[in-house]
Amino acid sequence: MVDVGDKSRTVREATATGTVTMKPSTLRMATEGRAKKGDVLAAARIAGIMAAKNTPHIIPLCHPIEISSVRVELKPVKSKNCIRITSTVKCTGRTGVEMEALTAVSAAALTIYDMLKAADKEMSIGGIQILEKKGGRSGHYRRSGK
């Protein structure tokens, strides 16, 4: 595990994104609340928040941090037959929150897949990436073209 003891406590924030692509009928099922397992978007949002808070239990050697906020947004994009997931995680600490944001997006995507897999076995999860990171020694990063 990397020693972060000499680092300054600063406000840190990371935003990640990803998508779950599916058939148009599956997207309608999810957005209209007709999935047999329940409210897909609500369950995915909660799964993402819970995953961010539990990242050090999932990712080896990831530091436990005191998260101050986690936001998980799920936006159906009908033109691309997908649900776009965006997570923003904030903390004041000695290490960043990129892993927490990425884990939140991943868990939300997996939850969507799990809740809709009976209707659409061809769904795909993709594009999971950091969009922006603020704070810490390396400063501000924003993915180009976003």
Pick from 64, 127, 68: which is nearest to 99 by CA?
64
Q: Is the dihedral of CA 86, 99, 57, 82 positive or negative?
A: positive
Catalytic residue among 3, 39, 114, 120: 114
How far apart CA 57 and CA 76 sit, in angstroms, is 30
Is beta strand 82-93 parallel, antiparallel or unpaired with respect to 67-77?
Answer: antiparallel
How many other C-beta atoms are found inside a 10 Å radius of the C-beta of residue 54? 14
How far apart CA 69 and CA 11 sit, in angstroms, is 12
Does residue 114 carry a catalytic annotation?
yes
Phi, psi of 81 (to 5 degrees): 50, 50
What residues are annotated to the active site?
Answer: 114
